[in-house]
């Protein structure tokens, strides 16, 4: 087989897994249009015009896109591998802290205490020198490397121990929740060197660009959208490949898959580490847009709420997780502004309604509607074709009529 034939075959497979995912293509198209339109309405339309999109709205939707990437990471392991993680907020926070450390190093002598080497909180705590694990974070590439390495290494160590011991189901969920809770308590300590309760904040710029400028906010918004699109394509490629089919087999019948000779723990470990890295990237994009990262991001409540996003959007669809994350967080923004005390009750009601009446989420509900319409259309076509093909009753001739008379 020639090189051209191999290339054409690879391109054909790449196109096939994208072309088959019509719902995903629609979602990516809507995402691309939204990025272009919102950027245009912010930059080209004057503020006096009612169509103008404020920079605050741009930042808000940039945060939603980061949450959507995080939900996508959870759906990859929960929807396709059956791993219900209640600690993915830890990987999100670790990626955010890696970015926050870089942003803190960029402040230099512009801090409150004017120390070019130490962040303000270290000066306040009378630290004499920069800790060894802060070294190198003044370089962007080094920080971005640890954005994926920190959650990836933690996920690898945790997953190797858990999956090798065949910890599954609710027990695994509880352990992941305990993991993120332990990290939250650790990062609250001032001795850890990560800002304690206050976390990392008061960022100035990124790559030399002012974080408060409209252009930087637009760039971060676009980067979040592009990262979400790339993350979706990567996850769809995985779920459409042989690896994805094995993951679904593990989700449905893990013991039978193991008896067939597959090293189930290896497959679960690979997808778990990849999911953690995606969560870390989401956290890194989230921090410069919101301007702070603190131990509260490790809270188990955040991870539980994340699972609700995926369940409401539709588990095992990828695009459903994105829809659920954006819709729930938009509702959260609206409710906390109008009825702040009612949001938790509303979130609980959404989860109950989804569990009872939408077990497959919004995406599954939409798919059922399309299937019913297709079945009705097919039934109507079959009925009309049967009527057309039905033989007509024979008419009596004039001779037969005369004989009857």
CB 54 within 8 A of CB 42: yes
What pLDDT, on a 0 to 100 scale, did the predictor assign at position 104?
94
String of DSSP letters for 311-329: HHH-TTSSHHHHHHHHHHH
Token pair listed for 257: 């898959």
What pLDDT, on a 0 to 100 scale, did the predictor assign at position 1?
45
pLDDT tens for residues 71-95? Answer: 999 999 999 999 999 999 999 999 9
CB 71 within 8 A of CB 309: yes
User: How far is residue 70's CA from residue 382's CA, in Å, rounded to a whole number?
Assistant: 45
The CA–CA distances, whole Å, from 114 to 118, 120, 128, 193 equal: 9, 8, 14, 19
Left, alpha or beta for 318 (phi > 0: left; psi -120 to 50: alpha)? Answer: left
What are the residues whose beta carbons fall under 8 Å from the beta carbon of 59, sequence distance 6 or more? 217, 220, 221, 289, 290
Residue whose tokens read 């008419």: 395
The CA–CA distances, whole Å, from 258 to 157, 166, 250 equal: 22, 11, 8
User: How far is residue 326's CA from residue 312's CA, in Å, rounded to a whole number?
Assistant: 11
- Residue 356, pLDDT > 50, answer yes
160: buried, middle or exposed (CB in 10 Å: 19+, 13-18, 0-12)?
Answer: middle
- Residue 236, pLDDT > 70, answer yes
pLDDT tens for residues 58-69? Answer: 999 999 999 999
User: How far is residue 122's CA from residue 115's CA, in Å, rounded to a whole number?
Assistant: 10
Query: Which of the four pLDDT bands, split at 50, 70 and 90, describes residue 336?
Result: confident
- Residue 4, pLDDT > 90, answer no
Angle at 316 between CA 237 and CA 183, to 5 degrees: 95
What pLDDT, on a 0 to 100 scale, did the predictor assign at position 339?
83
Q: Span 155-183, mean pLDDT?
A: 94
Question: So where are the chain's domains?
Answer: 23-299
Could you tell me where the DSSP H helices lie in 117-263? Answer: 120-124, 140-164, 169-187, 214-240, 242-252, 254-259
Angle at 231 between CA 229 and CA 236, to 5 degrees: 95
String of DSSP letters for 113-140: S--SSS-HHHHHTT--S--GGGTTTTSH
pLDDT tens for residues 13-66? Answer: 545 776 778 888 999 999 999 999 999 999 999 998 999 999 999 999 999 999
What are the residues whose beta carbons fall under 8 Å from the beta carbon of 103, sequence distance 6 or more? 200, 203, 204, 206, 211, 287, 288
User: How far is residue 182's CA from residue 395's CA, in Å, rounded to a whole number?
Assistant: 88
- Residue 271, pLDDT > 70, answer yes
pLDDT tens for residues 117-161? Answer: 899 999 998 888 999 999 999 999 999 999 999 999 999 999 999
CB 292 within 8 A of CB 93: no
């Amino acid at each position: 087989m020639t090189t051209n034939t191999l290339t054409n075959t690879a391109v054909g497979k790449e196109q096939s897994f994208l072309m088959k995912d019509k719902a995903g293509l629609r979602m990516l198209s809507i995402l691309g249009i939204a990025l272009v339109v919102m950027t245009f309405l912010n930059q080209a339309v004057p503020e006096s015009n009612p169509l103008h999109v404020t920079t605050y709205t741009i930042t808000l939707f940039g945060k939603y896109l980061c949450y959507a990437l995080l939900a996508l990471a959870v759906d990859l392991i929960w929807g396709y591998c059956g791993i219900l993680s209640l600690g993915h907020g830890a990987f999100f926070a670790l990626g955010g802290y890696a970015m926050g450390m870089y942003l803190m190093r960029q402040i230099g002598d512009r801090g409150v205490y004017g120390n070019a080497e130490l962040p303000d909180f270290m000066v306040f705590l009378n630290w004499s020198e920069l800790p060894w694990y802060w070294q190198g974070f003044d370089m962007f590439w080094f920080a971005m490397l640890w954005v994926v390495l920190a959650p990836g290494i933690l996920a690898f160590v945790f997953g190797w121990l858990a999956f090798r011991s065949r910890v599954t189901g609710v027990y695994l969920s509880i352990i992941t929740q305990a993991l993120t809770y332990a990290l939250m308590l650790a990062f609250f300590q001032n001795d850890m060197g990560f800002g304690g309760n206050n976390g990392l904040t008061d960022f100035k710029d990124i790559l030399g660009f002012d974080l408060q400028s409209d252009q930087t906010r637009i760039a971060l918004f676009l980067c979040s959208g592009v990262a979400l699109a790339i993350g979706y394509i990567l996850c769809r490629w995985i779920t459409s490949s042989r690896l994805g089919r094995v993951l679904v087999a593990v989700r449905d019948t893990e013991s039978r898959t193991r008896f067939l000779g597959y090293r189930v723990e290896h497959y679960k470990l690979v997808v778990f580490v990849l999911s953690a890295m995606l969560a870390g990237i989401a956290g890194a994009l989230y921090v410069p847009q919101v301007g702070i990262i603190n131990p509260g991001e490790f809270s188990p409540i955040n991870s539980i709420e994340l699972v609700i996003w995926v369940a409401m959007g539709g588990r095992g669809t990828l695009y459903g997780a994105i829809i659920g994350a954006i819709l729930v967080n938009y509702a959260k923004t609206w409710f906390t502004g109008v009825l702040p005390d009612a949001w938790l009750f509303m979130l609980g009601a959404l989860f109950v309604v989804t569990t009872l009446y939408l077990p497959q989420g919004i995406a599954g509900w939409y798919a059922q509607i399309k299937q019913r319409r297709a079945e009705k259309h097919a039934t109507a076509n079959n009925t009309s074709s049967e009527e057309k093909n039905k033989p007509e009753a024979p008419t009596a001739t004039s001779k037969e009529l005369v004989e009857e008379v």
